Amino acid sequence: MFLDEITMKEFSENLNKTKTLIIPYGTVEEHGSHLPLGTDTIIPVEILKEVSKISNVFIAPPVHYGVCTSTRQHPGTISITPHTLRHLTMDILRDAYRKGLRNFILLSGHGGGLHVNALKEVSEILIDELDDIKIAVLCPYDMLRDRLREIAETDNDSHAGEIETSLIMALRPDLVKGRSEEEYPSFPKPLIVRDKLKYWPGGVWGNPDRASSQKGQKVMRIIVDEIVNLIRKVESHE
């Protein structure tokens, strides 16, 4: 059930059946010249449409903005700070808790370290503050890295590469605009550089040319299964 599509009466009635809320997190962020700026939001939202056919849980409207570091200078990227993401998430979870929800899955379509850590920090605070709350933070690309490697032909595939391009081809093919060239960032780690574009001009990490809708369908099914299993685990965990 998508929260923005049900009435308060339907919410109250279904609260007797489930106390689980999934919140999808995305970004407004460049994804090469071939994928939309909303890629990180589109993927979890479309996947949750499939999850909703299997599991009876509440699904929140997406949080469209996230913490972008390596891509923050690229055209189209609009980032927020970890501080903002922490406070927004804290407010959403606390008020959802007041409304009777107890189980929360924070599903991030964006795998940035500061972004995911902000979600984890809030979760750590709230599980100490509220005795009966349960929270899981899931970024599918991190959790399923080994399984996704079996599908991807590209070594070290990541941002706007083979897997993400395949997912958008499967979920929203109308939004794919050709293909960007294969590329990998060349940041001089461990240095933190000011000029991000110098080391990653195209904003692609992988080879989009190897993407296909068939691969995207396989990846989608893996992620859907992972989320459905996580729902069961969260709801049954003491």
At how many degrees (to 10) do helices 162-171 and 213-236 cross?
90
Give the N- to C-terminal CA distance of the chain in Å, as an integer. 24
pLDDT of residue 103: 98
Percent of the chain with pLDDT over 90: 93
Q: Do the beta carbons of residue 86 and residue 118 sit within 8 Å?
A: yes
188 and 232 Cβ atoms separated by less than 8 Å: no
161: amino acid identity, one letter: G
pLDDT value at residue 141: 87
Query: How would you class 174 by CB atoms within 10 Å of its CB: exposed for 0-12, middle for 13-18, buried for 19 or more?
Result: exposed
Helix (H, G, I), strand (E, B) or coil at 56: coil
Tokens of 34: 């071939």
Write the pLDDT tens digit of every residue in 130-156. 989 999 999 998 878 888 888 999 998
The reported pLDDT for the residue numbered 148 is 87
Domain annotation covers residue 14: no
5 vs 61: CA distance, rounded Å:
9
pTM: 0.96
Spatial distance between the Cα atoms of 34 and 46, rounded to a whole number of angstroms? 19
Q: What residues have CB less than 8 Å from 83, skipping those under 6 apart?
A: none
Average pLDDT over every residue of 118-136: 97
The pLDDT value given to residue 146: 85
CATH code at position 150: 3.40.50.10310
In a domain, 51, yes or no: yes
Report yes or no on 3 lying in a domain: no
Please tell me the total count of domains within the chain: 1
Residue ranges with strand state E in the chain: 20-25, 58-59, 103-108, 134-138
- Report residue 112 CA to chain centroid gap: 10
Long-range contacts for 124-130 (Cβ within 8 Å, ≥24 apart)?
Answer: 125/90, 126/90, 126/93, 126/94, 126/97, 130/97
Q: What is the dihedral of CA 43, 46, 52, 54, to 10 degrees?
A: -80
Question: Is 153 within the bounds of a domain?
Answer: yes
Domain housing 57 = 19-236
Residue 117 corresponds to which amino acid?
N
Is 144 within the bounds of a domain? Answer: yes
